[in-house]
Amino acid sequence: MMPSYKLIYFNGKGRAECLRLLFKLKGVEFEDKRVEIADWASVKPTLPFGQAPVLEVDGKQLPQGKAIARYLAREFDLLGKDSWGQAIGDAVVEAITDLSKLFWEFYMVKDADKKAKESKKFAENVAPGHLSNIEKFLTGNVFLTGDDVSMFDIDLAVQLEFMVGLIPDILTPYPKLLALYNRVNAIPQLAEWIAKRPDTPF
Residue 109 lies in a domain: yes
Q: Which helix (H) or strand (E) holds 30?
A: none
Compute the distance between CA of residue 143 and CA of residue 150 in angstroms, rounded to an integer.
8
Compute the distance between CA of residue 149 and CA of residue 163 in angstroms, rounded to an integer.
21
Residue 23 lies in a domain: yes
The predicted-structure confidence for 115-172, as pLDDT tens digits, reads as follows 999 999 999 999 999 999 999 999 888 999 999 999 999 999 999 999 999 999 999 9
Write out the residue range of the structural domain in which residue 63 sits.
5-77
| Banded pLDDT at 81 (limits 50, 70, 90) | confident
- Residue 198's pLDDT is what? 94
The predicted-structure confidence for 57-79, as pLDDT tens digits, reads as follows 999 999 999 999 999 999 999 99
- Judgement on whether residues 58 and 99 belong to the same structural domain of the protein: no
Q: What pTM, to 2 d.p., does this model score?
A: 0.96
Q: Given 53, 77, 101, which residue is the final one in a domain?
A: 77
- Judgement on whether residues 118 and 152 belong to the same structural domain of the protein: yes
Active site residues: 9, 15, 104
- Judgement on whether residues 45 and 137 belong to the same structural domain of the protein: no
Residue 10 lies in a domain: yes
- Judgement on whether residues 19 and 96 belong to the same structural domain of the protein: no
Compute the distance between CA of residue 1 and CA of residue 25 in angstroms, rounded to an integer.
19
- Judgement on whether residues 102 and 73 belong to the same structural domain of the protein: no
- Residue 147's pLDDT is what? 92
